[in-house]
């Protein structure tokens, strides 16, 4: 296109289709696996089949002699590569040294032991079979509660109690609250381990240009800049000699918010062999060696008055950490603690976390990261309380919500909720679902021996993570906007969106601010050589923080555009709108394209103004944002088989202002799919010996399209005062809101049997046993 | 997910294929089970003979009142075949319940039946239909009844180097109703339990009942006592319940993470009742 | 995974017991076993070729017999490890005279690890049962 169209059409708030979709749908996008380079070598990693073992010896001779093999490296070779980093810090945290390849011991099934490099991926794989590792198998422990028991095998011999940390947080006067309570409800519940299951597994291409002293690392990550900083450290390489490129990422869900052994290992290999090397994770490896999510055992106690007022909450979390700390492993359960009061007013809370080592893959951030666990807990407890008091679950929530005139609201856990009207989405959802009528129907259904349940979940979440003091590596985000001499606009965002759709939403924001068309805007992300610096995309932060940085960069540019326009129009009295600077007196105007051209030609410059049109902003948010919403599930249970059918799924979400409601709905759909996965089907099962028995898609049940119910989306809009866009974030909302609504509906259906709680996943067999046992 | 090195041949004729098989090659007939095993290196055949490309094994035809389905006919072709839908709807219904669209487009009836996964769907229907299997080797050509074909999990009457040539099922007589009822394994799509029922009514009475069971144990079977309990009856709800209650009697049920042996047995009874009820309703 | 069951053999308990301690007979009965070599009292080294459906793999293993109470019970441990992973079966076998033969009941555990564990949790129970059944069938064959 030769010209930049200036236009009056605006885009923010409209259901604009995603600009990234055509290349994704047609299979023409470039992922790490699509990168080809002359002289490419291939790596295959030899991994431990045992959950705990001493390595007696590793014989690599045969593998080294195999056709096409150029090198085999073991832990001895990589001892000087820095440890896989843990970015979280907690008082007294025990951090095991996490080598990129095991040295004398393995700690979980899948632990990398050696890497075989060959000219061809088939030959590399063949040779991997020839690496002989002699293991002295040791007892393992895979269950966090068993790991805490006396006499349990020690995951790390230096810490026989398997305790990585304990954490305590308290607010208000919990003992007084419990002493004054009319009743206390207690429940143990679990939030099972899950596989994040990105469609694209991990993958790395590393290219060492020895002559330039330059390492190029292509990796499927959510955080390219942090990977550069940390992997450069691991390799003792100057950070400015390393470039990280993140091509298309086929899903992360938190699993790629990490720095993995393989990223440094491929850098190491490339520097050793002086040739590019590629490693693509197999699906089996993805199950074994990419972080898992959740892994909680929670003990809840809620104190209340007879009228339903919640007085206080006690929570003990046993967090299954796995064998090591990945980037944020120990920090995840602390997010659960922050969110433990949910949307409710109680000022008295006490939480204790025990972080437990097990002979399993580490857990870390998975969509929601600590918040689904917290929401599941409090939303189940509120239902238990309602049941005990014979109150309606909607009514008890409305009674305890923080009032809409109480914002900003300081919580007992030290947060400041930014804005909210918690009753609004609940009331809307109740109306959409036809709550009163459903309750009537339920009475009739029960008379006919049918199992029908209605479940409510009202969630709040911490988004826009986060202010720098709350994050290990900075909580701000950056944006650069450059208007090219032709008037085309290039946006470089430090957030590294990977499927969320910011190529569309950031273009919408930019187009509106500058008065250009969507196609005039290019959004670039994921290349440390192009993008200034950035934190990345996770914690529902890209739009709220990255979008705000972009907004401020655009304001800077607009001021400069105005200056150039004023100069060209020889007037001080000008307005910039719809891509034109117009003289308010003469009505004459200059287009953005003309102004951009003039700014670069620089024949004449406005006073104290540099040539060109470029602005960069690093924006530090003053607070998190706190979206909220209400999800209602109506379920019907087949009493003979225990199978659950979700008849209705109503999601009313309030994520502040919506840049693109179509994408907001899409995020909710995806989030709900993963929430349903946890509620109904998914579970990571390690056996007593630490073998992963759900290590393939034939055993691990992720939801397929045909298993999804119809989702009825709606919204309320409470703008956030934290940022000028008024946005909050929605990437994780669906997952957070979902699971308690499902479980509450099923428990509600079975409540005539005296059922109070069921742990996830709600398999048909569990349900059938409850029904068969109860009848 | 990289298999070991192997030879691959796609012969043009069945005879050519049989010669290669006699020389020790392994047949590939869709690859929905074999290829994943090869990618994990749990299976490492040196030579694969792709039967899927053999045109002369891909057919659905009617001769002398029976239906002949070539071994490399895909599940999707069976599911959508007008002749099967009309004359042997049980087989079409069962094919439609297999895995997912991709599996149905690639997988073949011969491949599935020869593999004999204990939770595969076809065996229930084949037992209920009293199907016959035409087996062919380089020097043999024989017919085996489905009842004799399935021996144990992954174990069949196939001799080494013998393949399934075709599956032979009857044209349903008037007054016959059929149904396949299955509990899906949420991860694999296989049958936790699958029941195929055939019911024929004559002059108001149930003249014939056939019940095929898969997924419950290592061997798909016909629930003969349950069949007998219903034959000659009118088909009341109680009669159906009583018959269905017999389908899992004395069977050593399998168990896994998704369904214990006890639950599987219960599911067999529930799905048998549903299959019989539906089949009976379809006799009209 | 827990395993349990029983099988009736057409031999008196004394004879059954005796033959079950005989490495030659065991070698013929253990599915895929290609020979046992004595390494100690009640301990044998084993070469094994597993073949199940399309799955195949070579295993090096051990067989151990412990806790013997002649004619009544003993513990059998069979383990193998190979490129595709490892398998282990361990059980207490109890012998009881029944209808002119011997009812052998067993109770124990089966374990798999490594890639072979990926073959499918849904299949492990059935496969273990089939292997045990084969063991008894081949044992009966070898004994007669």
Indicate whether B2 belongs to any domain: no
Who among B1, B4, B260 is closest to A126 (CB)? B4
CB contact under 8 A, C56 and B43: yes
The mean of the pLDDT values for chain C is: 89
Domain that holds residue C99: 2-143
The CATH number of the domain holding residue C7 is 3.30.530.20
Flag whether residue C51 sits within 8 Å of chain B, measured between CB atoms: no
Q: Are residues B202 and B231 in the same domain?
A: yes
Q: pTM for this structure?
A: 0.96
- Six-digit token string for A497: 């969106």
Q: Are residues B137 and B63 in the same domain?
A: yes
Q: Are residues B73 and B157 in the same domain?
A: yes
Indicate whether B253 belongs to any domain: yes
Q: Chain B contacts of A764, Cβ < 8 Å?
A: 183, 259, 263
- Domain end call among B108, B135, B170: B170
Q: What is the pLDDT of residues A154-195, one digit of tens each?
A: 999 999 999 999 999 999 999 999 999 999 999 999 999 999
Report how many helices (DSSP H) and strands (DSSP E) chain C contains, helices first.
Answer: 3, 7
**pLDDT attached to residue A466:** 84
- The stretches of B150-231 forming alpha helices (DSSP H) are 224-230
Flag whether residue B188 sits within 8 Å of chain A, measured between CB atoms: yes
- Mapped onto helix, strand or coil, the DSSP state of residue B98 is coil
Q: Are residues B71 and B161 in the same domain?
A: yes
**pLDDT attached to residue A1:** 38
Continuous segment of H or E residues that includes residue A502? helix A502-514
Q: Are residues B60 and B96 in the same domain?
A: yes
The CATH number of the domain holding residue B189 is 3.30.390.50
Provide the shortest C-alpha distance from residue A687 to chain C (in Å).
8
Who among A284, A689, A696 is closest to C111 (CB)? A689
Q: From 3.40.50.920, 3.40.50.180, 3.40.50.300, 3.90.1170.50, which CATH number describes the A38-138+201-249+256-289 domain?
A: 3.90.1170.50
Indicate whether B1 belongs to any domain: no
Nearest C-alpha neighbor of B187 from the set A292, A469, A195: A195
What distance in Å separates the CA atoms of residue A332 and residue A623, rounded to the nearest whole number? 19
CB B75 within 8 A of CB B107: yes
Nearest residue of A to residue B182 by CA position? Answer: A641
CB contact under 8 A, B1 and A283: yes
A283-322 residues touching C, CB cutoff 8 A: 284
Q: A373-461+625-774 adopts what CATH topology?
A: Aldehyde Oxidoreductase; domain 4 (3.30.365)
CB A171 within 8 A of CB A312: no
**DSSP string covering C56-84:** EEEEEEEEEEEEEETTTEEEEEEEEEETT
Who among B26, B152, B257 is closest to C121 (CB)? B257
CB contact under 8 A, B187 and A282: no
**pLDDT attached to residue A136:** 96
Nearest residue of C to residue A110 by CA position? Answer: C114
Who among B37, B42, B153 is closest to C127 (CB)? B153
Compute mean pLDDT per 10 residues along chain A, 775 residues long, and list them.
Answer: 60 97 96 98 97 98 98 98 96 97 97 98 96 96 98 98 98 98 98 98 98 97 98 98 98 97 98 98 96 98 98 98 98 97 97 98 97 98 98 98 97 97 98 98 97 98 92 93 97 94 97 96 98 95 97 98 97 95 96 97 94 98 98 98 98 98 98 98 95 93 95 98 97 97 98 97 98 81
Q: What is the pLDDT of residues B76-109, one digit of tens each?
A: 999 999 999 999 999 999 999 999 999 999 999 9
Q: Chain B contacts of A698, Cβ < 8 Å?
A: 36, 187-188
Indicate whether B25 belongs to any domain: yes
Nearest residue of C to residue B192 by CA position? Answer: C122
Q: Chain A contacts of B98, Cβ < 8 Å?
A: none
The CATH number of the domain holding residue B78 is 3.30.465.10
Provide the shortest C-alpha distance from residue B86 to chain C (in Å).
34
Kindly list the partner chains of chain A, i.e. chains with 3 or more CB atom pairs below 8 Å. Answer: B, C
**pLDDT attached to residue C2:** 85
Q: Chain B contacts of A122, Cβ < 8 Å?
A: 2, 5
What residues form DSSP beta bridges with A89? none
User: How many other CB atoms sit within 10 Å of the CB of residue B148?
Assistant: 11
CB contact under 8 A, B34 and C54: yes
CB contact under 8 A, A121 and B260: no
Q: Rounded to the nearest 10 degrees, what angle do helices A393-400 and A423-433 cross at?
A: 160
Q: Are residues B99 and B145 in the same domain?
A: yes
Domain that holds residue B63: 55-170
Nearest residue of A to residue C112 by CA position? Answer: A691
CB contact under 8 A, B41 and A700: no
Flag whether residue B32 sits within 8 Å of chain A, measured between CB atoms: no
Flag whether residue B40 sits within 8 Å of chain A, measured between CB atoms: yes
**DSSP string covering A511-580:** HHHHTB-GGGEEEE-SBTTTS-----S-TT-IIIIIIHHHHHHHHHHHHHHHHHHHHHHT-S-EEEETTE
ipTM of the modeled complex: 0.95
Indicate whether B155 belongs to any domain: yes
| Residue spans per domain, chain A | 21-29+476-619, 38-138+201-249+256-289, 373-461+625-774
- Mapped onto helix, strand or coil, the DSSP state of residue A225 is helix
**pLDDT attached to residue A775:** 55
Q: What is the pLDDT of residues B118-157, one digit of tens each?
A: 999 999 999 999 999 999 998 899 999 999 999 999 999 9
User: How many other CB atoms sit within 10 Å of the CB of residue A503?
Assistant: 20
Provide the shortest C-alpha distance from residue A708 to chain C (in Å).
23
What distance in Å separates the CA atoms of residue B121 and residue A721, rounded to the nearest whole number? 58
Residue keyed to tokens 């296109």: A1
Q: Does domain A21-29+476-619 have CATH number 3.40.1180.10?
A: no
- Domain end call among B121, B152, B170: B170
Q: Chain A contacts of B259, Cβ < 8 Å?
A: 764-765
What distance in Å separates the CA atoms of residue B69 and residue B79, rounded to the nearest whole number? 12
Flag whether residue B263 sits within 8 Å of chain A, measured between CB atoms: yes
Flag whether residue C83 sits within 8 Å of chain A, measured between CB atoms: yes
Indicate whether B250 belongs to any domain: yes
Nearest C-alpha neighbor of A538 from the set A320, A291, A317, A267: A291
**pLDDT attached to residue A16:** 97
Q: Quick check: B175 pLDDT over 70? A: yes
In Å, what is the CA distance from A257 to each residue of A11, A33, A292, A366, A677?
30, 19, 12, 9, 21
Q: Are residues B59 and B163 in the same domain?
A: yes
Nearest residue of C to residue A696 by CA position? Answer: C118
Q: Chain B contacts of C116, Cβ < 8 Å?
A: 42
Mutate to test the interface with B, among A698, A702, A770, A772 (most CBs of B within 10 A): A698
**pLDDT attached to residue C57:** 83
In Å, what is the CA distance from A485 to each residue of A579, A596, A597, B40, B224?
15, 5, 5, 54, 84
Q: How many domains does chain B have?
A: 3
**pLDDT attached to residue A472:** 84
Chain A to chain B Cβ contacts (< 8 Å): 54
Q: What are the residues whose beta carbons fall under 8 Å from the beta carbon of A687, sequence distance 6 or more?
A: A142, A693, C1, C111
């Amino acid at each position: 296109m030769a010209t930049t169209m200036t236009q009056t059409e605006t885009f923010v708030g409209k259901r604009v289709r995603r600009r990234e979709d055509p290349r994704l749908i047609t299979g023409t996008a470039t992922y790490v696996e699509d990168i080809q380079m002359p002289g490419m070598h291939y790596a295959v990693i030899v991994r431990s089949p045992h959950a705990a073992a001493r390595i007696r010896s590793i014989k690599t001779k045969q593998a080294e002699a195999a056709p096409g093999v150029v090198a085999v490296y073991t832990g001895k070779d990589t001892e000087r590569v820095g440890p896989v980093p843990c970015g979280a810090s907690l008082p007294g945290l025990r951090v095991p040294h996490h080598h990129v390849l095991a040295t004398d011991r393995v700690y979980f099934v899948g632990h990398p032991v050696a890497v075989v490099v060959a000219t061809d991926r088939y030959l590399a794989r063949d040779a991997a079979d020839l690496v002989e590792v002699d293991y002295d198998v040791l007892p393992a422990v895979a269950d966090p509660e068993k790991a805490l028991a006396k006499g349990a095998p020690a995951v790390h011999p230096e810490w026989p109690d398997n305790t990585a940390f304990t954490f305590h947080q308290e607010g208000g006067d919990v003992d007084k609250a419990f002493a004054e309570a009319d009743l206390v409800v207690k429940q143990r519940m679990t939030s099972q381990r899950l596989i994040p299951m990105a469609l694209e597994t991990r993958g790395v291409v590393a290219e060492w240009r020895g002559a330039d002293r330059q390492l190029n690392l292509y990796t499927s990550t959510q955080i390219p800049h942090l990977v550069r900083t940390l992997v450069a450290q691991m390799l003792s390489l100057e950070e400015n000699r390393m470039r990280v490129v993140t091509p298309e990422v086929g899903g992360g869900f938190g699993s790629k918010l990490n720095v993995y052994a393989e990223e440094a290992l491929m850098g190491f290999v490339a520097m050793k062999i002086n040739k590019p090397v590629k490693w693509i994770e197999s699906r089996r490896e993805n199950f074994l060696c990419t972080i898992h999510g959740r892994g909680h055992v929670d003990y809840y106690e809620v104190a209340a008055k007879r009228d339903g007022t919640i007085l206080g909450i006690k929570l003990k979390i046993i967090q299954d950490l796995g064998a090591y700390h990945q980037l944020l492993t120990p920090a995840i359960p602390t997010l659960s603690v922050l969110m433990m009061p949910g949307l409710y007013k109680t000022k008295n809370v006490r939480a204790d976390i025990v972080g437990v080592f097990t002979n399993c893959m580490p857990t870390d951030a998975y969509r929601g990261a600590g918040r689904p666990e917290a929401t599941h807990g409090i939303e189940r407890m509120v239902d238990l309380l309602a049941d005990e008091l014979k109150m309606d679950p909607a009514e008890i929530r409305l009674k305890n919500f923080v009032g809409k005139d109480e914002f900003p609201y300081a919580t007992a856990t030290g947060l400041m909720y930014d804005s909210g009207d918690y009753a609004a989405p609940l009331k809307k959802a109740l109306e959409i679902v036809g709550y009163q009528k459903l309750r009537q129907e339920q009475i009739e259904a029960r008379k006919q021996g049918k199992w029908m349940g209605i479940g409510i979940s009202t969630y709040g979440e911490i988004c826009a993570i986060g202010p720098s003091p709350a994050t290990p590596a900075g909580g701000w985000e950056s944006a650069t906007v450059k208007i090219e001499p032709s008037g085309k606009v290039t946006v470089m965002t430090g957030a590294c969106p990977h499927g969320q759709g910011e190529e569309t939403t950031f273009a919408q924001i930019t187009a509106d601010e500058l008065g250009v068309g969507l196609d005039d805007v290019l959004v670039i992300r994921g290349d440390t050589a192009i993008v200034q610096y950035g934190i990345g995309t996770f914690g529902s932060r890209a739009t709220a923080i990255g979008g705000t940085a972009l907004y401020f960069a655009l304001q800077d540019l607009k001021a400069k555009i105005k200056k150039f326009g004023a100069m060209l129009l020889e007037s001080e009295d000008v307005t910039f709108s719809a891509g034109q600077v117009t003289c308010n007196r003469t009505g004459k105007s200059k287009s953005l394209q003309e102004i951009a051209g003039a700014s670069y030609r620089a024949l004449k410059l406005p006073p104290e103004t540099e040539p060109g049109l470029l602005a960069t902003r690093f924006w530090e948010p003053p607070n998190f944002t706190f979206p909220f919403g209400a999800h209602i599930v109506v379920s019907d249970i087949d009493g003979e088989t225990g199978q659950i059918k979700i008849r209705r799924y109503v999601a009313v979400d309030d994520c502040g202002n919506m840049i693109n409601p179509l994408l907001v709905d899409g995020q909710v759909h995806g989030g709900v799919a993963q929430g349903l996965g946890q509620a109904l089907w998914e579970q990571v099962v390690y056996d007593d010996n630490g073998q992963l028995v759900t290590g393939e898609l034939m055993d691990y049940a992720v939801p397929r399209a045909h298993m999804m119910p119809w989702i009825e989306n709606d919204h309320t809009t409470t703008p956030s005062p934290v940022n000028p866009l008024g946005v909050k974030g929605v990437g994780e909302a669906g997952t957070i809101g979902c699971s308690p609504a499902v479980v509450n509906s099923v428990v509600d259906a079975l409540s005539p049997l005296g059922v109070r709680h069921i742990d996830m996943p709600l398999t048909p067999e569990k349900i059938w046993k409850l029904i068969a046992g109860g009848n | 997910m990289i298999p070991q090195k192997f030879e691959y041949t796609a012969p043009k004729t069945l005879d050519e294929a049989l010669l290669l098989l006699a020389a020790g090659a392994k047949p590939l007939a869709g690859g929905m089970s074999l290829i994943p095993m090869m990618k994990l290196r749990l299976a490492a055949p040196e030579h694969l003979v792709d039967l899927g490309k053999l045109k002369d094994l891909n057919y659905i035809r009617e001769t002398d009142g029976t239906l002949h389905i070539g071994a490399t006919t895909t599940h999707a072709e069976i599911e959508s075949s007008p002749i099967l839908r009309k004359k042997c709807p049980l087989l079409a219904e069962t094919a439609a319940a297999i895995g997912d669209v991709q599996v149905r487009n690639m997988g073949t009836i011969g491949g599935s039946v020869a593999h004999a996964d204990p939770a595969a769907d076809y065996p229930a229907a084949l037992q209920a239909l009293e199907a016959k299997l035409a087996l062919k080797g380089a020097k043999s050509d024989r017919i085996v009844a489905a009842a004799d074909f399935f021996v144990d999990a992954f174990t069949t009457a196939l001799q080494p180097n013998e393949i399934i040539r075709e599956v032979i099922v009857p044209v349903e007589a008037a007054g016959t109703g059929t149904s396949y009822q299955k509990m899906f394994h949420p991860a694999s799509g296989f049958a936790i339990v699958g029941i195929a029922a055939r019911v024929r009514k004559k002059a108001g009475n149930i003249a014939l009942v056939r019940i095929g069971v898969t997924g419950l144990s290592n061997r798909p079977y016909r629930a003969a006592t349950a069949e007998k309990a219903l034959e000659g009856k009118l088909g009341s709800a109680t009669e159906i319940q009583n018959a269905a209650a017999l389908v899992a009697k004395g069977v050593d049920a399998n168990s896994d993470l998704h369904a214990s042996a006890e639950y599987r047995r219960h599911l067999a009874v529930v799905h048998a009742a549903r299959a019989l009820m539906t089949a009976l309703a379809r006799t009209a | 995974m827990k395993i349990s069951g029983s099988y009736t053999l057409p031999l008196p308990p004394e004879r059954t017991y005796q033959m079950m301690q005989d490495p030659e007979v065991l070698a013929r009965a253990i599915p895929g076993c290609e020979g046992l070599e004595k390494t100690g009292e009640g301990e044998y080294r084993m070469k094994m070729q597993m073949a199940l459906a399309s799955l195949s793999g070579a295993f090096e293993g051990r067989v151990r017999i412990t806790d013997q109470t002649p004619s009544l019970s003993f513990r059998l441990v069979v383990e193998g490890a190979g490129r595709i992973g490892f398998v282990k079966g361990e059980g207490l076998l109890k012998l009881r005279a029944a209808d002119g033969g011997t009812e052998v009941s067993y109770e124990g555990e089966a374990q798999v690890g490594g890639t072979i564990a990926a073959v499918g949790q849904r299949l492990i129970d059935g496969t273990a049962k089939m292997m045990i059944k084969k063991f008894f069938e081949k044992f009966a064959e070898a004994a007669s």
